[in-house]
Structures are given as structure tokens and as C-alpha cells.
Structure 1
Amino acid sequence: MASAKRTVKKAARKVKRTAKKAAKTTKRKTKKTAAKAKRTAKKAAKTTKRKTKKTAAKAKRRVKKAKK
């Protein structure tokens, strides 16, 4: 499970980075979305299962959507 944990941490970091980027944009909606994504990433970082990777991916997608 160690490798999964590492992947999850990496994913969470990526999500956080994207969220930060999104937070820099001006629209309020984006900030909200970024915060949500950050929260999801944090939640994801705490668990180890495959579901987590999905959650992290979902958060990433959410941020991407927010940027548009």
C-alpha cells in the first residue's frame, strides 16, 4: 500500500497546486471551487485506497472547470 499512499500524496499536492493557481484568478466562483478542491485533496491525502485517486482526480477536474 505504500506506493498507493505516495501516489495519493502526489495527487493531493498536484490538486493543491492547481487550486492555488485557480485561487489567483479573479472570479469569486473560482475561489470557491478552488477551496472545495483543496478540501477534497486533503480528504484524499488521508486515505490510501484507490477511491482516493479518483477523488483527487475529481478535485483536479473541478478546478480545471473553474478556470474556464
Structure 2
Amino acid sequence: KRKEKKKMQEKKRKEKKMQEKKRKEKKMQEKKRKEKKMQEKKRKEKKMQEKKRKEKKMQEKKRKEKKRKKKKK
């Protein structure tokens, strides 16, 4: 009888350990997911800034062209 009790306790202990492990893994995945999201966000922001920068450059170019044309006339 004592052996059975011990076995049961052992089983419970192992199960607890397993659950703990699963919980930690879940947490880890959550963390990774959030990190990925964050990186995605950063990447998009960078892209946006790049776009704005290019647009600004383009406008600058157009402005200069206009000035040049005026000078020619």
C-alpha cells in the first residue's frame, strides 16, 4: 500500500512538472510572438519613413526643376 501511495505521489509530481514545462513553453511562445510583432512594426515604420524620405526628395527635385525652368525663361 505504501508503494502505491509513493507511486501516486511520484505521478502527481511528474504531472505537475510537465504542466510547469508546458506553461513555460507557452510563455516563451507568447514572448516570441510579441517580439515578432514588434519587429514587424519596426520594419513597417522604417519602410514608411523611407517612403516619406523619398517623397521629400522627389518634391525637392521637382522644386529645383521648376526653379531651373524659370531661370531659362
**TM-score when scaled to structure 1?**
0.37
Q: Which has the higher contact order (CA 8 A, sep 6+)?
A: 1
Pick the structure with greater CA Rg.
2
